[in-house]
Amino acid sequence: MTDNSRTTVIPGLVSGIHGLAHNRGWADKAEAVAEETLADQPAFDRALAQLVAIDPRLSPLLAISGSPALRQRPAGFAGLIRMVVAQQVSTASARAIYARFETQFDGAPTPGSVLSAGEDGLRAAGFSAPKIKTTLGIARLLDAGAVDLDALAALPSEEAREMLVRLPGIGTWTADVYLLFALGRSDAFPEGDLALQIAAADGFGLGARCHALGLNAIAEDWRPWRGVAAHVLWAYYAARRARQGAPA
């Protein structure tokens, strides 16, 4: 299913949500602390230490999951399409589909080669009809020179995010995951991610699932390391599922 999620942040919500979102005068703090680039595991580990220092509630989650590894994906067309493949499917399914996709193009799909393969080639790799439409739409724009994904690296995250969501089939979840995994933006945070919502609800005792707006409010305390917090929640989610006997 095409990722076309949109989230509206309600002013003042930070001070609510089950007493978990601390009102710390965030406007002043946001100006003082800039977003960082998670270039490698040491940079991630340093950011994680700073994150836990400002929010010790994450320590019990880390005690269960262990310290997460930094997730990194290539930037550019191939990396973006990998995230399109991951939209609203299991991790195992996404890996299998993308592996078939890479095999078709000897591991280096380009906009031109994807356009040549067309709908039949993408369907053979396991792409759904909406993801075929998204992939071909993005490939056409890149092939025509109408979009430059490489230029995103030089833009502030909000501007890069705005450019990404203008692409066919790219919603906020895909844009935020691309910013986090491909560009290493430490504050990118896909609050609409189901695993993050479940992990936050379980880890913080909120019930079955934390709504996206509630999660977004809680995450305000984690700026500019919301992306690092997302790694913590994903790792906790995987560890909890493994303990329950389900595949992570």
Q: pLDDT tens digits for 184-196?
A: 999 999 999 999 9
User: What integer pLDDT is reported at residue 106 of this predicted model?
Assistant: 82
More confident residue, 207 or 172: 172
Contact between 168 and 174 (Cβ < 8 Å): no
Domain ends where: 181, 212, 229? Answer: 181
pLDDT in tens, 32-79: 468 999 999 999 999 999 999 999 999 999 999 999 999 999 999 999
Host domain of residue 195: 34-71+186-243
Do 145 and 224 sit in the same domain of this protein? no
Q: Which of 181, 200, 225 is at the close of a domain?
A: 181
| 67 occurs within a structural domain | yes
My answer on whether 153 and 224 are in the same domain is no
Note the pLDDT of residue 29: 44
Contact 38, 227 (CB under 8 A): yes
User: Does the N-terminal peptide bond of residue 224 adopt cis geometry, omega within 30 degrees of 0?
Assistant: yes
Residue 21 lies in a domain: no
| Domain-embedded: residue 207 | yes
Say if residues 10 and 158 touch (Cβ distance below 8 Å).
Answer: no
Residue 84: inside a domain: yes
Does residue 128 sit in the same domain as residue 153? yes
Q: Based on the fold, state whether residues 111 and 173 are members of the same structural domain.
A: yes
Looking up residue 98, the CATH number of its domain turns out to be 1.10.340.30
Residue 130 inside a domain? The answer is yes
Q: For residue 130, what pLDDT is reported? A: 96
Name the band, by pLDDT with cuts 50, 70 and 90, for residue 26.
Answer: very low
Closest residue by Cα to residue 38 from 29, 30, 47: 47
Residues 95 and 168 in one domain: yes
What integer pLDDT is reported at residue 207 of this predicted model? 79
Residue 46 lies in a domain: yes
Choose one of 181, 210, 227: the last residue of a domain: 181
Q: Looking at the domain assignment, is residue 19 inside a domain?
A: no
**Both 66 and 150 in a single domain?**
no
User: Does 23 score more than 80 pLDDT?
Assistant: no
Asked if residue 199 is part of any domain, the answer here is: yes
